[in-house]
Amino acid sequence: MAARNSSVTEFILTGLTDKPELQLPLFFLFLGFYLVTVLGNLSLILLIGLNSYLHTPMYFFLFNLSIIDLSYSTTITPKMQMSFISKKNIIFYAGCMTQLFFFCFFVISESFVLSAMAYDRYVAICNPLVYTVTMFSQMCFLLLLGAYGMGFAGAIIHTGSIMSLTFCSENLVNHFMCDILPLLELSCNNTYAHALVVFIIVAIVIGIPIATIFLSYTLILSNILHISSTEGRSKAFSTCSSHVIVVSLFFGSGAFMYPKPPSIMPLGQGKVSSLFYTIVVPMLNPLIYSLRNKDVKIALRKTLNRKIFS
């Protein structure tokens, strides 16, 4: 399958490095990262699913965050691994567009799920008396539906924009995956309008979650500072700390890639940024929530005890 009006039927992904001595060590390194990602996220999904006292709005969103992390790491990592063990990491045009669609869908969805989690923490800390009334099950479902809806819309727009481009002969993608900016670089038509669409959509799908998270935590911080007891402040801070770390890692790494055009930041440098939020962040998220969350530790202990005694 080729793009309409294009001669290119497949792309070659350059991967992370062209140095032969690094290929095998990097293969095993990222294989380890992927195994930890799968194990960590699956464990969190199972823990939340099996323990009824974790069936709360916060863990409902965390459950979906783990599904998203597992899914978009699986969208990227296995194909990236091929560049370490094969001379040419070839991906067909249809496969490239499919990878691009799911990458955009999961990344955008994650940004909105993180903003929903920030809103949940705001209601829990600033309006605890109406928490159960505000964050009822239908509201959580609607917030999640909105997150996935924005992910789907963003993925359709980005993928449709790339599919409308013409690729004449050059098919070497300077990346380890089919990302938007490296594909724009290969097009033989004027990509100014397409690049503008990319940055507008990114500004919307990143700007709205960041604004929501910033506002939520500004109000949370203001509320915490008015808590008289040291124990109360400490409990409120510990409730938010895991989410703040996850948000900082996700948006911090993504900020180095998309707000800047390729002319300002070389694509080689963008690969490192992409590597962090596509491979490292999905691996760290379940570890952060497991190690810094008392409820998750208790759930893990109870689940293991049930397995041992059974």
Rounded to an integer, what distance in angstroms lies between the CA atom of residue 243 and that of residue 298?
19
Residue 8 is predicted with a pLDDT of 79
Pairing of strands 10-13, 89-92: antiparallel
Please give the Cα distance from 69 to 101 (Å, whole number).
15
Least confident of 25-39, 61-75, 176-190, 235-249: 235-249
Q: Which tokens hold the place of 107? A: 């990344």
Question: Which of 40-49, 173-182, 292-301 is predicted with the least confidence, judged by mean pLDDT?
Answer: 292-301
In a domain, 98, yes or no: yes
Range 101-119 average pLDDT: 95
Q: Average pLDDT in the 249-269 region?
A: 60
Does residue 5 lie in a domain region?
no
* Per-residue pLDDT at 310: 54
Burial class (CB within 10 angstroms; exposed 0-12, middle 13-18, buried 19+) of 129: exposed
Q: How confident is the model at residue 264 (pLDDT cuts 50, 70, 90)?
A: very low
- Residue 1 is assigned to a structural domain of this protein: no
Q: What is the pLDDT of residues 132-142, one digit of tens each?
A: 888 988 999 99
Domain assignment of residue 2, yes or no: no
CA distance 202 to 194: 12
The pairing of strands 172-173 and 10-13 is parallel
Cβ neighbours of residue 104 closer than 8 Å, sequence gap 6 or more: 151, 154, 155, 158, 159, 180
- Asked whether residue 228 is domain-assigned, the answer is yes
pLDDT tens per residue across span 213-226: 999 999 998 888 87
Tell me which H or E stretch contains 219. Answer: helix 192-225
Query: CA dist 305 to 52, 87, 192, 302, Å?
Result: 16, 48, 59, 5
- 31: domain range? 10-309
Q: How many domains does the chain have?
A: 1
Q: Is residue 3 one of the residues assigned to a domain?
A: no
Q: Is residue 85 situated within a structural domain?
A: yes
- What pLDDT score does 268 carry? 55
Return the CATH number at 134.
Answer: 1.20.1070.10
Per-residue pLDDT band for 96 (boundaries 50, 70, 90) equals: very high
Distances (CA, A) of 177 to 13, 158, 235: 7, 15, 41
Comparison of pLDDT for 212 and 238, the residue scoring more: 212
pLDDT in tens, 50-92: 888 888 899 999 999 999 999 989 999 999 998 888 888 899 9
**pLDDT of residue 306 exceeding 70:** no
Any domain includes 4: no
Q: Where is pLDDT greater, at 150 or 191?
A: 150
